[in-house]
Chain A
Amino acid sequence: MKRYAGTIAMAAMILTMPLAQAADNLVPQMQAQYQSEGAGDFSAERGQQFWRQKHQAEKEPFTRSCESCHGTDLRQPGEHQRTGKVIEAMAPSVNAERFTDAKKIKKWFRRNCKWTIGRECTPQEKGDVLAWLNTL
């Protein structure tokens, strides 16, 4: 038995690894960071409004919003407006991988805010959006 103990321990470690790694939802952490950058209290309602707000793009006849790519039902996958590639559902209740990687959140806020509203989002706006998305 002793001979196998090491192997068993290894196997157990490998098996439980995904569990140990099942990443945490980072929304509270991100919000704390946004507050340290000057944001006040966060409101899911304001977040929802911001999400649905339509913006006139410079050159195009159509408007842009966060829904352009993520769709109107965030429990369903969206579709990238230009390339048509499927974007997994945004709601953390459906897609547990959402908001688990700080770098990814940062990267996509930067890109998507610039694309949609033509500037980076403020810490307040980001915190509001996350507050709303996290309720889904």
Chain B
Amino acid sequence: MKRLILLLTLLAVPTSLLAHPILGFPRHRGVEPLTNPLYSESCGECHFAYQPGLLPARSWKKLMAPAALEDHFGENAELDEEDRLAILKFLTSNAADTTWHYKRSIKITRSLAEDEAPLRITEVPYIKKKHSHIPRWAVQDNRKVRSLSYCNRCHTRADKGAFVRAEVDIPGYRNWADLF
């Protein structure tokens, strides 16, 4: 009995370390799913609403500046001040560099130097590298995709924050897994 207790204690130490928020493995594979209806509505009309965990807070701050919203990649995404501040708060407090639990967010943060603040998720080195071998005709020249920016057209569960290979389905390119 004593030995059993000893064994269990010995096992408990590494297990609790694994579950530890900082020392342990990230508990989730994706990025944190969306929970904020104001955000989903205000930023989900022209493209799928990107999870805050896809960019660091410093990028969201730049993107959400009033002038930046007026010329948002050539579109007008103006918001009234109250909504803008609420959304900015939501984005920065759930940004990629605020989490230890979501693996994709951690990798996005790791791939950026501390003073880098890309305006695009598709310019984050981790995301760029992950897609560098996909041919143009499957993305930009694919009418059903148009641009790498529209994650949800290939990542079938992007709206749940899941970005894993097993759930990718590029429209018109079923056999993408043959890519080397």
Contacts and interface: CB of A to CB of B under 8 A. Distances in A.
A–B contact with Cβ pairs below 8 Å: the answer is: yes
B46 interface: yes
A82 B150 contact: no
A84 B48 CA distance: 11
A85 B79 CA distance: 20
Contact of B146 (A83, A107, A111): A83
A107 B76 contact: no
B78 A110 contact: yes
Given A83-B46, A85-B47, A111 B76 contact: yes
A55 interface: no
Interface residues of B, number: 17
B75 A82 contact: yes
B69 to A, nearest CB: 10
Contacts of A103: 80
Chain A interface extent, by class: 10 to 19
A9 B143 CA distance: 52
B37 interface: no
A52 interface: no
A44 B25 CA distance: 61
Nearest to A101: B41
Contact of B46 (A80, A107, A114): A80
Nearest to A106: B80
Given A84-B146, A111-B77, 12 more contacts: A80-B46, A82-B75, A83-B46, A83-B147, A83-B150, A85-B46, A85-B47, A85-B150, A87-B45, A110-B76, A110-B78, A111-B75
Interface of B: 45-48, 74-80, 143-144, 146-147, 149-150
Interface of A: 80, 82-85, 87, 103, 107, 110-111, 114-115
22 contacts: A80-B46, A82-B74, A82-B75, A83-B46, A83-B47, A83-B146, A83-B149, A84-B144, A84-B146, A84-B150, A85-B45, A85-B47, A85-B48, A87-B45, A103-B80, A107-B79, A107-B80, A110-B78, A111-B75, A111-B77, A114-B76, A115-B75
